[in-house]
Amino acid sequence: MKASETKKVHFQIYRYNPDMDKSPSMQDYYLDVPADRDIMLLRALLMLKEQDGSITFRRSCGEGVCGSDGLNINGRNGLACITPLSSLKQPVILRPLPSFPVIRDLVVDMTQFYRQYEKIKPYLQNDEPAPAEERLQSPKDRAKLDGLYECILCACCSGSCPSFWWNPDKFIGPAGLLQAYRFIIDSRDTHTDQRLSELDDPFSVFRCRGIMNCVDVCPKGLNPTRAIGKLRSLLLQHGS
């Protein structure tokens, strides 16, 4: 690539290898990227990895479907693969998802996050005898799942939620609660009452203070705060 066809982009990347480093540090990187077209941040990271093979991050599909590359990009959580480099101010500061334990560099331990997801029993529960073919659902009931089923569990929302930062073991977090609501309003699920009963404690749902960081960062444009509001209304109907 000729110099005239490229431009230099400055990155500051969080580096931490618990086996080698005493503490995390920010490392500067400069990358020549094509001047005539835009690239996604993930592409830039892959190019940086050619410069320094030790930079560690997760990635898989590269098109905003798998949710592997959730990062804190210039202070805001997002997916590297669908964030255009041109939209970012320099230096581009990359950190792992806030509050998640760091395994190495930008790779975080998602165990706690998945444990919360597991708590809401993210599968259909139905006590009625199974029909010969499949459980049918009217288009109207199916439409209720729109805006909920699209979640890819990238953890951008829960990683931006202070309530989840302080109580990741007790507060289910926006991602888990969006899914809790998704199964509670599913017409094919018959465990609605049990599901609601399991959420009526001071932490699981009610630790949400409604600051809407989750809505602000969701790369899929979903609205966990609205789902949590609906859960509260359902809990009120269920419990009063």
Partner 1 sequence: MVSNATSYTGSGLRDWLIQRVSAVVLGAYILFLLVFFMSHSGMEYATWEGLFGQLWMKVFTFVALLSLYAHAWIGVWTVLTDYIKPVAIRVTLEVLVVLSLLTYLIWGIVVVWSI
Interface residue with partner 1 among 158, 163, 213, 225 (CB under 8 A) is 163
155 three-state secondary structure: coil
Least separation in angstroms between CB 240 and partner 1 = 8
Does residue 226 interact with partner 1 by CB under 8 A?
no
Q: Which of 196, 223, 216, 184 is nearest to 75 (CA)?
A: 216
Stretch that binds partner 1, among 4-12, 23-31, 166-174, 184-192 (CB under 8 A): 166-174
Preceding omega of 139 cis (within 30 degrees of 0): no
Choose, by CB under 8 A, the member of 142, 170, 220, 230 that binds partner 1: 170
Paired strand residues for 211: none
Q: Which of residues 69-98 bind partner 1 (CB under 8 A)?
A: none
Quick one: DSSP state of residue 177? Answer: H
166 touches partner 1 (CB under 8 A):
yes
DSSP state of 21: -
167 touching partner 1, by CB under 8 A? yes
Q: Closer to partner 1 at the Cβ: 13 or 234?
A: 234
Q: Is 177 in the site for partner 1 (CB under 8 A)?
A: no
Half-sphere exposure of 206 (CA within 13 A, CB side): 11
Among candidate residues 105, 92, 98, the one with its CA nearest the CA of residue 28: 92
Q: Is 172 left (phi over 0), alpha (psi -120 to 50) or beta?
A: alpha
Residues 197-216 within binding reach of partner 1 (CB under 8 A): 197-207
Q: Which residues bind partner 1 (CB under 8 A)?
A: 162-163, 166-167, 170, 197-207, 232, 235-236, 239
